[in-house]
Structure 1
Amino acid sequence: MARLQASRAKRGAPAALRTPPKDDSQRDLFTLFIADVAGKDVRGTMDVALFRLSKRVTRASGIITYRLPDGTVQVTGGPMGMATAWDFDIVLLAISQLTEAANRWRAGKGPKPSRTIRPHASEVLSFCRRSGGGDQYQWIREALRRLGTTTITVDRKSKSGRLEMEAEPLLSRVGVFSGESTDRIGALEFDVPVWIYREVVECEKPGVLTVHEDYFLIQSGIGRFLYRLFRRAAGRTSASWSFALLFERSGSSGTQKEFNRTLRGLIAEDELPEYTLKEAAGQDGPILVATYRGCSEAAGRGG
């Protein structure tokens, strides 16, 4: 992190990663502190953005539709706005804690986990690498509202050829509770969607991938979308996509031209966790190549 910040300051470039909070390395003494659990994501959700990329454009009651080879994914925002890429950090916390509990259950060291997650607000902030200021607690309230009213609808054909549909909010049955002597929120409670629970707990081979801890420091929504896509498709090798396909898969509310400008800025900064980026010429337009740092494999996979 220090090397990246020094390099950025030298060339006067904008920050791809924000500076961690001052108390980032401090941990309260929980039996199993959530912030010490490796961040996890569900593989099946990482090739499209299940959230909006902009903090400014709320997309209240808006719809993003992704047409994929095996069906359609639709993201529908609630009246208070669609959940953001930063709100989705709370979903990653839920996936991470659920994965940890499921691993203990499979090892015979605990009960089968339920869909209900009960973190403390301070644990959420620490896991998401945020400071403990009062405005951060307000963010938790608002994020949970948006996550509870942003619905994911999946239409895809089964192996038998039948069209199947599932629709659920990113989090359901959301509860926020404050202490008796303070208005500051404390305990939280929410249920993960059935499709996440099924993938993490009930699948014989869970489709869960570890997310680098610096993912939570990525400043731009497009940068967050790209990292999740790289982590799924490139892994420890490399992968490539056309700029046009990335724009389509991002659900960006901007134009292709604006999106391309952001991509080129991220390529120039070269600060996203784990992957180095370069632009290449393609038959139908520019291509982004993401390569795992230290990987010498030139040929990539992707779309």
Structure 2
Amino acid sequence: MDGDALAKARALEERMRTRARRGEDAAPTIGPAEDGGQNDTDSGRTATTVAVRRKSARMLSDERHRQLDFFTADFVDVPQKNDRHSMEHPLFSLKKRPDTTIRVYEHNNVEITITPSVLGLATIWDKDLLIYATSQLVQGINEGRTDVTNRTVRFTAYDYFVSTNRGTSGAEYESLERTLERLKGTQIKTNIATGGERRKRGFGMIEDWEIVERGRDGRMVAVEITLSKWLYNAVQALEVLTINKQYFRLTGGLEKRLYELARKHCGNQACWAVSEEILFKKSGSTGTLREFRRLVKEIVQADCLPDYRAAYDAKARRVIFYTRDMRRLTAAALKTVGSS
């Protein structure tokens, strides 16, 4: 090998090492620009050049799409999903003012203790954030996304506001930060099984949260929340129900809660009748039964629940929820008449 060829081979090898250190994808090839005009068939190709070529062929290219350690919530206008366990049992405050009372709930072998932080219990309006995250994850599962294996969900504040019928003013951004604090601060201890796993465990409604980016005006842009294992197990097992998007337009806490209960218990049935005492207990209302009865009558009169109507039976002291779908209602009535 003459001196020039050896120098060129060494220079090429050094360039390759430099590129590998910098993490560049492309393995260099030897062409006219790098070998002084000699091609692979030239008799001047040297053993050193061949060795360099073989080494480059075995080098790994950079990983272009690294598996992220969070799920990106980027679906638009997806079906809204609510976990059926929190629809069944009262985990959230129905009041917007801070509630720092420890709650204990027991029903049909289910035990729940809910302990607020100094900021108060997470509210049923705070729960909208969990519904949003659950809906995004379920859509990801349905579409075969690989990042649904992460409990951490990254989303933009604006997308969340739009999806849950909120405004986009500065006040909403401040409210979201308080929501995150209440969801993390509220601790739940329960024996409710999710994903087929029953353990008595304590957890926050979210495990952690972080504002990842802020805009030039200081408002949060991207947010990350890590769901509790309890909720994530329910999502992975698809222990969820689709809810009407009009749910987010309900302004009262009790209205939102009654819709959840009607959706959970009616299911595919045309109606659901429940005593006012049981409904009072399941609602999580902290007022008196008499006050609860008055509010329920007002909601019945307003006829504002999506998908369902309600009637109050004063004689039997019960509430009947029934579907707005007249075909289902008529079919159920005919079935009842036929079986009598």
TM bracket, shorter-chain basis: 0.7 to 0.9
Supply the RMSD in Å over aligned alpha carbons.
Answer: 2.2
Greater radius of gyration (CA): 2
Give the letter aligned to residue 298 of structure 2: G
**What is the deviation of 1:155?**
2.8
**Structure 2 unaligned regions, length at least 5:** 1-71
**What is the deviation of 1:111?**
4.4
Q: Is the 8 A contact 1:64 1:251 kept in 2?
A: no
Partner residue, 2:303? 270
**What is the deviation of 1:80?**
0.8
Pick the aligned partner of 2:88 from 47, 50, 56.
47
Partner residue, 1:253? 286
Partner residue, 1:25? none
Pick the aligned partner of 1:139 from 144, 169, 175.
175
1:262-282 Cα shifts (integer Å, max 9, x gaps): 100000011110001101145
Q: Following the alignment from structure 1 to structure 2, what is the Cα–Cα distance between the partners of residues 36 and 191?
A: 22
Give the letter aligned to residue 293 of structure 1: R
Q: Is the 8 A contact 2:188 2:204 kept in 1?
A: yes
Q: TM-score w.r.t. structure 2 length?
A: 0.70
Q: Is the 8 A contact 2:113 2:189 kept in 1?
A: yes
Partner residue, 2:200? 165
1:59 partnered with 2:95:
no
Partner residue, 1:115? 151
Q: Is the 8 A contact 2:73 2:155 kept in 1?
A: no
* Range that drifts further, 234-243 or 141-150: 234-243
Q: Following the alignment from structure 2 to structure 1, what is the Cα–Cα distance between the partners of residues 314 and 216?
A: 61
Q: How does 1:53-92 map to 2 (within 5 A)?
A: 53-56=94-97, 58-60=98-100, 62-92=101-131
Q: Following the alignment from structure 1 to structure 2, what is the Cα–Cα distance between the partners of residues 150 and 291?
A: 33
Q: Equivalent residue of 1:119, what SS? A: strand
* Range that drifts further, 90-99 or 109-118: 109-118
Q: Following the alignment from structure 1 to structure 2, what is the Cα–Cα distance between the partners of residues 81 and 189?
A: 22
Q: TM-score w.r.t. structure 1 length?
A: 0.79
**What is the deviation of 1:45?**
2.0
**What is the deviation of 1:55?**
1.0
User: Cα gap change, 1:35/1:215 in structure 2, threshold over 3 Å: closer, same or farther?
Assistant: farther
**What is the deviation of 1:138?**
0.8
**Structure 1 unaligned regions, length at least 5:** 1-30
**What is the deviation of 1:197?**
1.3
Give the ranges of 4+ consecutive aligned residues of structure 1 lying more than 3 Å apart after TM superposition: 31-35, 109-112
1:194-233 Cα shifts (integer Å, max 9, x gaps): 12211221x3xx2211110010011111111111111111
Q: Is the 8 A contact 2:74 2:155 kept in 1?
A: no
User: Cα gap change, 1:182/1:212 in structure 2, threshold over 3 Å: closer, same or farther?
Assistant: same
**What is the deviation of 1:70?**
2.3
**What is the deviation of 1:121?**
0.6
User: Cα gap change, 1:70/1:140 in structure 2, threshold over 3 Å: closer, same or farther?
Assistant: same
Partner residue, 1:93? 132
Give the letter aligned to residue 194 of structure 1: K
Q: Equivalent residue of 2:113, what SS? A: strand
**What is the deviation of 1:182?**
2.3
Pick the aligned partner of 1:287 from 318, 323, 335.
318
Give the letter aligned to residue 88 of structure 1: K
1:175 partnered with 2:206:
no
